[in-house]
Amino acid sequence: MSSPSHTADNFIEESIIEDLNNGKHGGRIHTRFPPEPNGYLHIGHAKAIVINFETAKKFGGRTNLRMDDTNPSTEETQFVDNIQHDIRWLGYEWEGETRYASDYFEELYQLALKLIDKGLAYVDESTATEIEAQKGDIGVPGTNSPYRDRSPAENRDLFERMRAGEFPDGSRVLRAKIDMAHPNLLLRDPVLYRIKHEAHHRTGEDWCIYPLYDFAHGQSDSIEKITHSLCSLEFRHHRDLYNWLIEALEIFPSRQIEFARMNVDYFITSKRKLKLLIEEGVVSGWDDARMSTLAGLRRKGYPPEAIRNFCMDTGVTRRDSQQTLDLLEFKVREVMNRNADRYMAVLDPVKLVITNYPEGQTELLETENNPEDESHGTRQLPFSRELYVEREDYRKEPQNRKYYRLAPGKDVRLKSAYIILCEGHEEDDEGNVTQINCTYYPESKSGEDTSGVKAKGTLHWVSAPAAVDIEVRMYQPLFTDPTPMDHEGKDFMEFINPESLQVITAKGEPALAEAEVGESFQFLRQGYFTVDPDTAAGKPVFNLTVGLKSGFKG
């Protein structure tokens, strides 16, 4: 198989092209995404998913999905379903069936036997604390276990009896026999198998010994003939062991390549911390719209395309990166600007009365659904004497010449309707505006304006009698600090933003009552909003997906 001439976009692709040019694996490229099914996928996983799938795709290769389920205590089938759902939602389909490391338990066991027979592994009866002590320290060599020199035959017998369930948890482990003075602490006779009399979510009671990461992950890669095993930087030290085991076991030589994890401002990606947010009641669950989980981002309304673009455009490197929320939100707006239809909703309504418009009259006005895409068509909007407009769009006095909104004496265009002249307002005892009074120019109707009046500003509005109440959930970042984990001596919980969620009741145009769960809109001049699953008949709930960029400096 001759390799088409690819250009490398990053160092991983350089390595792949190098392998291709060397004729390795006959030009075949196969990657994998190996989550542990013990939690929900988050934005950091999205990066790994995108890298693995996109890299394979670029070279005409395939990508497996493999559950790294070697720890029966933490893994649950429930998570498997969510992980699969999230990956498909992101837009990727893996090769064949979902794989499980647990499917390879028997093969792994045989591999362990092989290692024992080669004199490269031994059963150790030291306690966990003793083993820790044997490891030595950074810069200090370790010491050999007293059980290190047992014969292969004795080790085999002991290991078989471990499997048979003769020994209690923690009483024995299988260790690789490498070098207790190795500068890489991971190669100081790492533990390969431990005893756990626990039921596994897939294999049930079949096993009471379970392999550890280092004796499961790489071997699974080899079993699946993965050519390039892409993982994050903290596994760099594991690569030495990964390669040592490939040699010792004489198995398919997958190549591990590490890249830097992606961090995003205001997002945390520690499973444990995410869980804590739920347990403490800070958020409502794994799919709370403020969570950095894919379930949360989906609920918030982030389009998968935007997340993919974000992951791709932030590149692949070996240096720790901290991405800004700005870029992520830019990617979200970029997609939604194209796809989301424009509707009008008033978030903080104040009544506006057009004093020269006939009482009781309603007319239907036509408005375009999406100025970016004419094929989205038009719809009808009811217009009447009493409207709601945004409280923020009125000032008792205009501040300066650059102010284009409502204030006494100002002309303003109502989107797709008429130009109105602001006459003044009514207020309560505290000086709060209770009503804005205006007159309209009958000849200024949108599309057939002969009034000659020029209005600099255009406002969104809804007809008061026709408006529907909609619940709107306004979100801000969950934390007040972009990197809540990076403060010495301070717990990340100290940075919880008390205003991360504000629920308001807004006035929406009638069509919004029919919005379906998952559907996204632009509320004119406000932002992009997506219908939340909490929506019930006649009670629509919208999530702020992302605000519009605003050049207004009032």
Which positions are catalytic? Answer: 36, 261, 271
- List binders of RNA among 34-53 (CB under 7 A): 34, 36
Stretch that binds RNA, among 284-292, 315-323, 421-429, 530-538 (CB under 7 A): 315-323
With CB under 7 A as the contact rule, the residue among 55, 102, 222, 314 that binds RNA is 314
DSSP letter string, 342-399: EE-EESSEEEEEETTSPTT-EEEEEEES-TT-GGG-EEEEEEESEEEEEGGGB-SS--
Minimum separation from the CB atom of position 8 to RNA (A): 6
State which residue, 134 or 535, has the beta carbon closest to RNA.
134
Among 153, 164, 185, 517, binds RNA (CB under 7 A): 185
Q: H or E stretch including 520? A: strand 520-523
Instruction: State which of residues 157, 160, 305, 334 lies at the interface with RNA (CB under 7 A).
Output: 334
User: Least distance to RNA from the beta carbon of 476, Å?
Assistant: 16
**By CB under 7 A, what part of segment 353-372 binds RNA?**
370-372
Q: Binding to RNA by residue 318, rule CB under 7 A?
A: yes
Residue 190: Cβ within 10 Å count: 23
- For RNA, the binding residues in 158-177 under the rule CB under 7 A are 169-173
Pair 412, 444: CB distance under 8 Å: no
Q: By CB under 7 A, which span of 104-112, 128-136, 287-295, 495-503 interacts with RNA?
A: 128-136
Q: Which 370-389 positions form the footprint of RNA (CB under 7 A)?
A: 370-372
- Give yes or no for residue 273 binding RNA (CB under 7 A): no
H or E element, residue 435? strand 433-440
Q: Strand 386-390 and strand 411-414: pairing?
A: unpaired
The least distance separating RNA from the CB of residue 281, rounded to whole angstroms, comes to 25
Binding residue for RNA, selected from 21, 127, 143, 151, defined by CB under 7 A: 127
Give the nearest distance from C-beta 268 to RNA in angstroms: 14
Q: Is 212 in the site for RNA (CB under 7 A)?
A: yes
Give the β-pairing of 228-232 and 255-259.
parallel
Minimum CB distance to RNA smaller for 390 or for 532: 390
Question: Which of 16, 108, 195, 511 contacts RNA by CB under 7 A?
Answer: 195
* Structure token pair of residue 168: 């209690």
State whether the Cα torsion 237-240-241-242 is positive or negative. Answer: positive
Which region, judged by CB under 7 A, interacts with RNA, from 114-122, 159-167, 180-188, 292-300? Answer: 180-188
CB closer to RNA out of 251 and 524? 524
Three-state DSSP at 243 gives helix
Count of C-beta atoms within a 10 Å radius of residue 292: 21
Contacts of 522 (CB under 8 A, 6+ apart): 336, 337, 340, 341, 342, 343, 528, 529, 548
Q: Which residues ranging from 481 to 540 are in contact with RNA (CB under 7 A)?
A: 522, 524-525
Q: Which two tokens stand for residue 26?
A: 């006959």
Among 32, 413, 425, 507, binds RNA (CB under 7 A): 413
State the minimum distance, in angstroms, from the CB of residue 166 to RNA: 15
| Contacts with RNA, 416-455, as mask; x by CB under 7 A | x----------------------------xxx-x------
What does the DSSP assignment read for 12-75?
Answer: HHHHHHHHHHTTGGGG--EEEE---SSS--BHHHHHHHHHHHHHHHHTT-EEEEEE----TTT-
Q: Tell me if 201 contacts RNA by CB under 7 A.
A: no
User: Is residue 268 a contact residue for RNA (CB under 7 A)?
Assistant: no
Taking the least distance from each CB to RNA, the nearer of 416 and 520 is 416
C-beta closer to RNA: residue 315 or 465: 315
The one-letter amino acid code at 550 reads S
Toward RNA, which CB reaches closer, 353 or 485? 485
Q: Is 206 in the site for RNA (CB under 7 A)?
A: no
Indicate whether 76 belongs to the interface with RNA (CB under 7 A): no
Rounded distance, CA 49 to CA 63, Å? 10
315 binds RNA (CB under 7 A): yes
Q: Which residues pair with 503 in a beta bridge?
A: 473
Q: Which stretch binds RNA (CB under 7 A): 4-12, 282-290, 380-388, 470-478?
A: 4-12
Q: Number of residues interacting with RNA: please give it, by CB under 7 A.
A: 96
List C-alpha distances in Å: 201 to 68, 73, 102, 359.
12, 9, 9, 68
- 212 or 248: CB nearest RNA: 212
Sites for RNA among residues 232-261 (CB under 7 A)? 233-238, 260
DSSP string, 108-120: HHHHHHHHHHTT-
User: Is the alpha carbon torsion for 481, 483, 487, 493 positive or negative?
Assistant: positive
Decide: is 194 part of the binding site for RNA (CB under 7 A): yes
At 223, which helix (H) or strand (E)?
helix 217-223
Provide the residue count of the chain.
554
Q: In this chain, which of 15, 98, 184, 497 binds RNA, going by CB under 7 A? A: 184
Rg (CA), the chain: 31
Q: Which is nearer to RNA, 271 or 351 (CB)?
A: 271
